[in-house]
Amino acid sequence: MIGVGLLGSGFIGDCYADSLLDVRNGELVACYSRNSERADEFARKWGPGVTAYQDMDALCADPAVQLVVIALPNEIHLEAVRTVARHGKGVVCTKPLARTEKEAAEMLKVVLDAGVWHGYAESSVFSPNIAKAYQMVQAGGIGDLLTMRAREAHSGPHAPHFWDAETAGGGALLDMGCHTVESARHFFGKDNPVVEVMAWGATLAHADKTTGEDTAIALLKFAGGQLATIESSWIEKGGMQLRHELVGSAGRIVTDSSVGPVWGFIEKPVGYLVEKANADTGWVYPVPEETRAYGFSQQMRHFVDCFAAGTRPLETFEDGVVVNRILDACYRSMRTKVWEKVTIS
């Protein structure tokens, strides 16, 4: 049984704690929050046997903790990775890995210098519908994959720190585009790098909340000539929009997590429906078992299995660095309004 320590007690921390319930050989043994009351509340919620800490170093020093999962705001990722590495523990970091490529590269250097196992928590490539679509593409079902269009949209982040673009490192593109950039790399092949990008972003609806873009579109050109269109939005009400359209020389595949197997029209609220539902009456589209539908459970099982076996996971800090590199180029393109090269290394 692998003992897992979780840094962070917010929305994504809850998702990770919930997903660990599906991991037969992993167990949440410790949690951390800067707020002692939140740490204690989180431990009670996901216990028994979960020790609450208000100090990252103390959690990482706990001998019961073998693998540390970081579910903290972007600006704390580097500090957290340094703390984990100092104690020689394995580490999984939530998306985006960092605010910039430079910061992500420093995080990669820290884990490599310390010789610790590392995983990048990009849930989209583990979600059941993406996994099935990937299997179909790999089997040649639609011939040669030529283009991909991916959209992730909702009405805005849960946590206030995401709205602070200067501290968080960016807006909707960094927050959500990191998912679709990595799913594009997943489908087109990581040995087929993104070489050039064109991006647009604007603050259309939330100028009172953020100086970052709340809407963005990016075009990713791959070395093999393929094209991915990435759409990210914080201005769309009515719950999550998660959609991929894959076009090949012999067919197409569409995945859509926006509407699940349950929907209906209700006049009386019935409780929680789905992340960022925005309304609890009228036409509603609840998503059962969100952590499984969105790939969190499958992701965590994969990471714990790989850590236990000492093998390389599907997503590592190296992938996180590449995603940040591509996003940095997209932000340059937003400013220059031209295609920007992506350095291949």
pLDDT value at position 39? 97
In this structure, are 213 and 332 located in the same domain? Answer: yes
Please give the average per-residue pLDDT across 39-58, as a whole number: 96
In this structure, are 192 and 95 located in the same domain? Answer: no
Q: How many CB atoms lie within 10 A of CB 52?
A: 20
pLDDT value at position 239? 81
In this structure, are 60 and 209 located in the same domain? Answer: no
C-alpha span between 251 and 239 (Å, rounded): 29
Domain that includes residue 148, residue range = 125-287+324-341
Lowest mean pLDDT among 73-77, 279-283, 318-322: 279-283
pLDDT value at position 129? 94
66, pLDDT greater than 70: yes
Between these two residues, 160 and 80, which has the higher pLDDT value?
A: 80
Contacts 24+ apart (CB under 8 A), 19-22: 19/291, 19/292, 19/296, 19/297, 19/299, 19/300, 20/300, 21/297, 22/291, 22/292, 22/297, 22/300, 22/301
- The CATH code of the domain that includes 337 is 3.30.360.10
In this structure, are 25 and 149 located in the same domain? Answer: no
263, pLDDT greater than 70: yes
In this structure, are 311 and 333 located in the same domain? Answer: no
Counting every residue written for the chain, the total comes to 345
In this structure, are 213 and 250 located in the same domain? Answer: yes
In this structure, are 137 and 150 located in the same domain? Answer: yes
Which residues are paired to 104 by β-bridges? none
Instruction: Kindly indicate the confidence band of residue 134, based on its pLDDT and cuts at 50, 70 and 90.
Output: very high
Average pLDDT score, the chain? 95
280, pLDDT greater than 70: yes
* Counted domains in the chain: 2
Please give the average per-residue pLDDT across 93-102, as a whole number: 98
51, pLDDT greater than 70: yes
pLDDT value at position 166? 92
95, pLDDT greater than 90: yes
Global pTM value:
0.95
- The predicted-structure confidence for 16-40, as pLDDT tens digits, reads as follows 999 999 999 999 999 999 999 999 9
pLDDT value at position 279? 85
Cβ atoms of residues 168 and 99 within 8 Å: yes
In this structure, are 193 and 329 located in the same domain? Answer: yes
In this structure, are 208 and 85 located in the same domain? Answer: no
The label of the residue with tokens 């639609």 reads 142
- The CATH code of the domain that includes 92 is 3.40.50.720
pLDDT value at position 105? 98
Please give the average per-residue pLDDT across 309-322, as a whole number: 98
pLDDT value at position 286? 84
233, pLDDT greater than 80: yes
In this structure, are 57 and 118 located in the same domain? Answer: yes
C-alpha span between 153 and 233 (Å, rounded): 4
Please give the average per-residue pLDDT across 157-168, as a whole number: 89
pLDDT > 90 fraction of the chain, expressed in percent and rounded: 86
DSSP-based three-state secondary structure for 185 = helix
In this structure, are 74 and 146 located in the same domain? Answer: no
159, pLDDT greater than 90: no
127, pLDDT greater than 80: yes
In this structure, are 171 and 204 located in the same domain? Answer: yes
Please give the average per-residue pLDDT across 135-158, as a whole number: 96
289, pLDDT greater than 90: no
Instruction: Kindly indicate the confidence band of residue 345, based on its pLDDT and cuts at 50, 70 and 90.
Output: low
